[in-house]
Amino acid sequence: MSDLPSTARVVIIGGGVVGVSTLYHLALKGWTDCVLLEKNELTAGSTWHAAGNCPNFSTSWAVLNMQRYGLELYRGLAGAVDYPMNYHVTGSLRLAHSLERMREFEKVAGLGRAQGLDLEICTPDDLKAQHPFLETHDLEGGLWDPLDGDIDPAQLTQALAKGARELGATISRFNPCTGVRRDGDEWVVETEKGEIRCEKVVNAAGYYAQRVGEMFRPFGGRTVPMVVMSHQYFLTEEIGELAAWTKENGRKVPLVRDVDVSYYLRQDKAGLNLGPYERNCKAHWITPDDPMPQDFSFQLYPDDLERLEYYIEDAMARVPLLGTAGVGRNINGPIPYAPDGLPLIGPMPGVPNAYEAHCFTFGIAQGGGAGKVMSEWLIDGETEWDMWACDPRRYTGYADHDYCLSKALETYGHEYGMHFPHHEWPAGRDKKLSPVDAKIRAAGGQMGAYNGWERANWFAKPGDDTSEDATQTWNRHGPWEPRIRAEVEAVRDGVGVLDLPGFSRFNLSG
Ligand SMILES: Cc1cc2nc3c(=O)[nH]c(=O)nc-3n(C[C@H](O)[C@H](O)[C@H](O)COP(=O)(O)OP(=O)(O)OC[C@H]3O[C@@H](n4cnc5c(N)ncnc54)[C@H](O)[C@@H]3O)c2cc1C
């Protein structure tokens, strides 16, 4: 006999950190009549093998909110649910090789201040004081996040699960969701152990989200815009000098993110953990002759250390201690990417009472906040924070497979890249062209992409620097500035015509 309830308010498909956190937050708010389905054991997707790094830092207001909230939750969670776990709040250092990078840090420190966070700008000497093994001679400075750290992702998920169960929520493990159908205003969720009728359903299936999303297609759903990338980190063997320093100082060295080179390096027990976001990155399961397996629970891709060589060498120069250690273990696992690398969390476009909470690239850091956000969508129909940056509805039909693939490769390869206000990323362009596109370009239009549409940001004159490099700056004064000023003055004093594709149009009837 199955102990699966036949009715529930909400059914969550997927028992990674995000699904379980959603269940926990629903239960905290009194919605205990909810069921989570996991096809294997909890954490079997990406969660079990994650490195567990938990930064506050984000240039997105929505993501900063999720991470800030999550880290606060995690600091009290072991006590709140009586489930001890390994959570090391070591602090972290972001390194800046340029003044432009320092300006990014100043911007995020300002965002952090507005959310009550104390992110500190550092000089090279400050960096050295925090991390004695770091080479700092060629750096401009950095950013110190005192609340960054690393958590055991499986223990975190189990702690959230314990909290949810004790409040009365149900977790059904080894029970795949096999389909969904509508019956009047209700969903009927089909599983291997029986059916559940419910009001609302959440796709929290991690890197399987596109497959689960297909179940919603007959009810107005679309192909989930995502790609599965491979992401690696490797662990070294124990380093005597690091072990001795930790013993003497009673703490681990802080996590280091060399964002201009594109890797993080942190202490793991008495060894080091190095995780790059490499430019020569790799997507998986992207062609019909290489489909995603029906089940990949607790599995990894083969090691691919060659892809990491450049980053390993760079990190050995930054923290020479790394060069003294033998390679221990390599982890190469699936990680889902939406085109912009931000999660899809919110209402499922076009489908009544269905929601999405997946495509998390930093799901361990964001899981706590994601649970809060999702529970608000489900219970209140709106969220406390502005979550548009992560709203699934930000992608419409233009986000086809080619677009998703080219953007995912670009986004992963520039995971730590700076997002300058006048810079337009080159991948996935020309998806939608206005009828006067050719005329606009002939007139010198410098194009940007808005919801798939190409729109002129400004009009260049012969001799203007229209290179991508010229836009890699926080400065307001680029080659565009005099041209935009002239346009604004022309429209102020005379008349002008604008072609503005990329805005929403509503057809209203009745
Ligand atoms: C090598 C590596 C290192 C990482 N390091 C970090 C890090 O340091 N910090 C960080 O924040 N993030 C990190 N991540 C990312 C992190 O692992 C993910 O963002 C996070 O685990 C996503 O959680 P999730 O709950 O969305 O998905 P998942 O953990 O993938 O969970 C989805 C679950 O859905 C289940 N499922 C699928 N289909 C069905 C179905 N039909 N029925 C029932 N259940 C189903 C799956 O079995 C799975 O358990 C790392 C990822 C990788 C690959």
Distance 49 CA to ligand 1 centre (A): 8
Distance 46 CA to ligand 1 centre (A): 3
Nearest CA to ligand 1 atom 12: 362
Ligand 1 close to Cβ of residue 378 (< 6 A)? no
Ligand 1 close to Cβ of residue 266 (< 6 A)? no
* CA-wise closest residue to 419 among 37, 131, 186, 108: 108
Nearest CA to ligand 1 atom 14: 50
Q: Which letter, b or e, does each residue of 201-216 get, where b requires 16 or more Cβ atoms within 10 Å of its Cβ?
A: bbbbbbbbbbebbebb
Distance 52 CA to ligand 1 centre (A): 11
Ligand 1 close to Cβ of residue 274 (< 6 A)? no
Distance 470 CA to ligand 1 centre (A): 38
- Residue 267: what are its φ and ψ, rounded to 5°? -75, 135
104: Cα separation from own chain's centroid: 19
pLDDT per residue rounded down to tens, the chain (510 residues): 467 999 999 999 999 999 999 999 999 999 999 999 999 999 999 999 999 999 999 999 999 999 999 999 999 999 999 999 999 999 999 999 999 999 999 999 999 999 999 999 999 999 999 999 999 999 999 999 999 999 999 999 999 999 999 999 999 999 999 999 999 999 999 999 999 999 999 999 999 999 999 999 999 999 999 999 999 999 999 999 999 999 999 999 999 999 999 999 999 999 999 999 999 999 999 999 999 999 999 999 999 999 999 999 999 999 999 999 988 899 999 999 999 999 999 999 999 999 999 999 999 999 999 999 999 999 999 999 999 999 999 999 999 999 999 999 999 999 999 999 999 999 999 999 999 999 999 999 999 999 999 999 999 999 999 999 999 999 989 999 999 999 999 999 999 999 999 888 888 999
Ligand 1 close to Cβ of residue 176 (< 6 A)? yes
Ligand 1 close to Cβ of residue 348 (< 6 A)? no
pLDDT in the model for residue 2: 64
Ligand 1 close to Cβ of residue 273 (< 6 A)? no
Ligand 1 close to Cβ of residue 57 (< 6 A)? no
Ligand 1 close to Cβ of residue 359 (< 6 A)? no
Q: What is the distance between the alpha carbons of residues 206 and 41, in angstroms, rounded to a whole number?
A: 14
* DSSP letter, residue 357: E
Of ligand 1's listed atoms, the one at least distance from the Cα of 332 is 1
Distance 48 CA to ligand 1 centre (A): 7
Distance 390 CA to ligand 1 centre (A): 17
Nearest CA to ligand 1 atom 25: 16
Name residue 37's beta-bridge partners: 13, 172
Residue 250 backbone zone (phi > 0: left; psi -120 to 50: alpha; other: beta): left
* CA-wise closest residue to 231 among 138, 332, 148: 332
**Domains of the chain, CATH where assigned:** 7-390 (3.50.50.60), 420-510 (3.30.1360.120)
Q: Using an 8 Å Cβ cutoff, are 199 and 348 in contact?
A: no
* C-alpha separations of 57 from 258, 273, 413 in Å: 14, 19, 18
pLDDT in the model for residue 327: 82
Q: Using an 8 Å Cβ cutoff, are 85 and 155 in contact?
A: yes
Ligand 1 close to Cβ of residue 37 (< 6 A)? yes
Nearest CA to ligand 1 atom 53: 333
Ligand 1 close to Cβ of residue 452 (< 6 A)? no
pTM comes to 0.97
The size of the chain, in residues, is 510
Ligand 1 close to Cβ of residue 160 (< 6 A)? no
pLDDT in the model for residue 291: 94
Ligand 1 close to Cβ of residue 297 (< 6 A)? yes
Other C-beta atoms lying within 10 Å of the C-beta of residue 310: 16
Ligand 1 close to Cβ of residue 363 (< 6 A)? yes
pLDDT in the model for residue 476: 87
